[in-house]
Chain A
Amino acid sequence: MPSCTIDGIKVEFRDGDNLVEAAKRAGISVPVFCYHPGLSVVAQCRMCAVDVEKMPKIQTACSTKAVEGMVVSTKTDRVKQARESVMEFLLVNHPLDCPICDKSGECDLQDHSYDHGSAYQRSTEERRTYVDLDMGPVIKKNMNRCIHCTRCIRFGDEVANIREMVAIHRGNNVDITTVDGKALETDYAGNYADICPTGSLTLKDFRFNKRVWYLKKTPTVCEGCSRGCNMEIHEERNQIYRCLPRENMEINRYWLCDEGRFNYKYIHHPDRVLSPQVQEGNSWAKKDWFETMASWKSGFRSKDAVFLVGTDLTQEELQLILHFAKSEMGGVPVFHFGTPNLPAANGDGDSDGLLKRKSKTSNLHGAEKLGIAPFQTLPAGKTQVVVFRGGRAELPRLDRSLKVTGFGVFLQEEIGQFSAVFPGASFAEKTGTVVNFQGKEQTLVRAILPVGESKLLSEALMLWKNQSLASGAA
């Protein structure tokens, strides 16, 4: 590999690396605003100034390609001075509203100001202000905070394939806005907030809900489709506040669709079934696990039963169910369900040219790997169905005459025809493996404990198998 020298450190770089990326390899962080590795280079914020030997002017690291033998310094006096001056310029008009800004604590402008800016402000002129427009349900715009980095414009243009963010007017009056002031259309709008280096574009959903420094971050995988985008769950006190994309260049690069980003909402949905329930007449009785299990089990006959498993379950859960069906239940047939009209993995495909896949669950490909057949029609003579579901898989239509039981995550409105429900763990409440459309095995990591009386599938099946042991323990 070719190499250059940055701050006296010999750095090997890949051909085509710019100096921001080359410096990263040496553990040197060059401050940036407009630069984003997933977007084109515009070199306009001027924050990433570095000194390159034999070049008379300071250079912007983002637009300078590393060259064999190049000698770069990120710490000369004039580099420090240039960065301090860029910070000063950006703060001439930026409001000092960090205390009420959602971005505070994870704001590039704030961070770079601490690291590279001056503690004193010399500008006494009146700040520039804008009247903001509504940008639709996902993003809240606050143009006064904008530093004109144009990341959002380039994201729409280059990644989301939609030119909806634009710059209008000129110079100091530039307004970063939507075409004709329309609401955002893309289903990738959340990324606008992620890449905004300041609090100009924030998520309406997250707004004023939690200061970011209280959030605990768990690296996990989105369950929204068979791509398996890498993401982080941010929670505090067992409450999920948001999901953000996590870089994985082979799967989702830096991005996440809104469908996946907000998919977690069902976990804290007020209508989620959070305790075991039995339908008695026309109403639901909430009882404890042991009582419910005992009464339900007495009516269960394995020879009449079929297990339907959601392709939103993990490999471990599916294997457990397969084992349980075969060894403990004497061979109950198991079929998978998840996305209507998409029975098999070979029907899965790209759905929007970006990230989304046709399979709306995380583990269709894994279920198929385990040899589970898709659910089409009920085998003759079966009258009882047990549905195991993570929370995302779309429930199959079942005949009204069947006795249906649910294990997993359900909303009250979904269980009208069920006779009993045992609440289980969603993707955020458990750890396990899912297989994406590329055949990559990825790990869901438990971010919060199961909400309410929900139990992991392994616990639920243990109770089913050995009710007396469980009662005894209780």
Chain B
Amino acid sequence: MALSAHAGSETLYIQHFGNEEARGLQYYLKQMNGYSALKKAFALKPDQVIDEVKKSNLRGRGGAGFPSGVKWSFIPKTSDKPKYLVCNADESEPGTFKDRDLMRYTPHLLIEGMVIAAYAIGAKHGYIYIRGEYAREAKLLDLALEEARQAGYLGSNIQGSGFQFDLTVHRGAGAYICGEETGLLNSLEGKRGEPRVKPPFPATWGAFGSPTVVNNVETLCAVPFILQRGGEWYAKLGKLPNSGGTRLFCVSGHVKKPGLYELPAGAVTLRELIYDYCGGILDDRKLRAVIPGGSSAPVLTPDEIDVVLDIDPLMKIGSMLGSAGVMVIHDGCDLVRLIYRITKFYEHESCGQCTPCREGCRWMANIFKRILDGKGRLEDLDLLLDIANNINQKTLCALGDAAAGPVKSFVTKFRSDFEARIRG
């Protein structure tokens, strides 16, 4: 694993990754000034905590990039119902592996972030919904939770503040769709992991029909830093006006040094990440394509890699930063097989509720398979684009878009690859 930092700028997490001692409470207290942010938060009113997070320009790290403070402020103040805080640790987007290390090496950071968030929204109980495959991390989290309980950072009357909060680790059973927040909530409630009709949004009707905030692991891990050092400080860490803090980039594929990179939000271009940080393309081959934000992000060509790696710039060129899973592809890769494999993934992971996604993903996968088997037809390509357009934005949740985006971008941007394969 390569660990690196942007020249001259601070990193929050990555220096602790790889250090097994970091996961203990003592390390967290001594080396990371642990649970001091909590004390600061308790001195503020919940609304003031939310304001601080708003000031920080922290945007959700799960994929959608929604401003976190704003999300918290949607929780109704007057509801009689209990409120829930849920950490989305499903990390199911292919190409993403940042939350795993956060939970593995800095679990107390997550716990402290969750206690602060719970205080801000008035939750007394929270859940960490962790993907089933992260069995080891789930165990580590449970150990850390027990440490926190023993030390009075969880439970009733936390640190004498009168505030009560506890956490439950809930393991998923291996479904991509349970990373979608309402699918996650259904799964948490013991139902089929299927996204819900929105509205109502989780802020009013979330876990067990109660107001709920669902935040990604990395998002919650940023919260202690924001409280410790102020929202403005965090906002300034980012290099773009509305995107604060640092980001963990998960680089995989054909680069010389794949791994996690923590960089200030909006500080580098995709080209810089690939060539300056990751040492360039594996075997010094030619770059062919980059998927910048997990497998659901539309693919970029080598001409497009001068884009600044952040939420808005990537959206502007028709792709997305998503969960910052950067997958680099060199010219030795069969793009037809690659998009078939990606499509197959979404076909397999579609929950099956919405017609366009359920039927369309299988149909597209079948067509790609046919092309790979040498039975493709040139008109298949326009048909594929049509199918993708008919799925895109026409489903309950974003899985449809996630399946359609890659197909549209691969077939459009690399059409000649497909035509060559069809002609044989």
Contacts and interface: CB of A to CB of B under 8 A. Distances in A.
Interface of A: 41-47, 49, 57-58, 63, 81-82, 85-86, 88-90, 92-93, 122-123, 125-126, 128, 147-148, 150, 167, 169-174
Given A85-B394, A125-B367, A171 B358 contact: yes
B396 A93 contact: no
A210 to B, nearest CB: 31
Interface of B: 175, 192, 197, 347-356, 358-363, 366-367, 370, 383, 390, 393-396
Given A47-B355, A88-B390, A172 B396 contact: no
Contact of A170 (B175, B354, B366, B367): B175
A125 B363 contact: yes
B390 A89 contact: yes
Contacts of B370: 125
Residue of B349, B358, B360 with most chain A CB atoms under a 10 A cut-off: B358
Given A89-B360, A125-B367, A148 B352 contact: yes
Contacts of B349: 170-171
Nearest to A86: B355
A43 B353 CA distance: 9
A45 B355 contact: yes
Contacts of A42: 197, 353
A89 B358 CA distance: 9
B396 A44 contact: yes
A46 B358 contact: no
Residue of B355, B363, B366, B395 with most chain A CB atoms under a 10 A cut-off: B355
A85 B393 CA distance: 13
A46 B394 contact: yes
B192 A43 contact: no
Given A89-B390, A125-B363, A44 B347 contact: no
B355 A44 contact: yes
Contact of B352 (A43, A126, A172): A172
A122 B366 CA distance: 13
A213 to B, nearest CB: 28
A126 B356 CA distance: 18
B377 to A, nearest CB: 9
B394 A170 contact: no
Contacts of A125: 363, 366-367, 370
Given A42-B353, A89-B363, A172-B350, 5 more contacts: A44-B396, A63-B197, A125-B366, A170-B348, A170-B349
Contacts of B350: 170-172
A155 B197 CA distance: 18
A148 B358 contact: yes
Contacts of A63: 197
Contact of B354 (A44, A122, A128, A167): A44
A57 B393 contact: yes
8 contacts: A42-B353, A44-B355, A46-B355, A93-B359, A170-B349, A170-B351, A171-B352, A171-B358
Contact of A49 (B351, B361, B394): B394
A174 B352 contact: yes
Contacts of A82: 390, 394
A171 B355 contact: no
Nearest to A88: B390
A45 B349 CA distance: 18
A148 B383 CA distance: 24
A123 B396 contact: no
A86 B355 CA distance: 7
B177 to A, nearest CB: 8
Contacts of A46: 354-356, 394-395
A173 B361 CA distance: 12
A58 B362 CA distance: 23
A147 B352 CA distance: 10
A85 B349 CA distance: 21
Given A58-B394, A125-B366, A172 B359 contact: yes
Contacts of A45: 354-355
A42 B348 CA distance: 21
B369 to A, nearest CB: 9
A47 B390 CA distance: 12
B353 to A, nearest CB: 4
Nearest to A56: B393
A123 B390 contact: no
Residue of A46, A92, A93, A174 with most chain B CB atoms under a 10 A cut-off: A46
A43 B390 contact: no
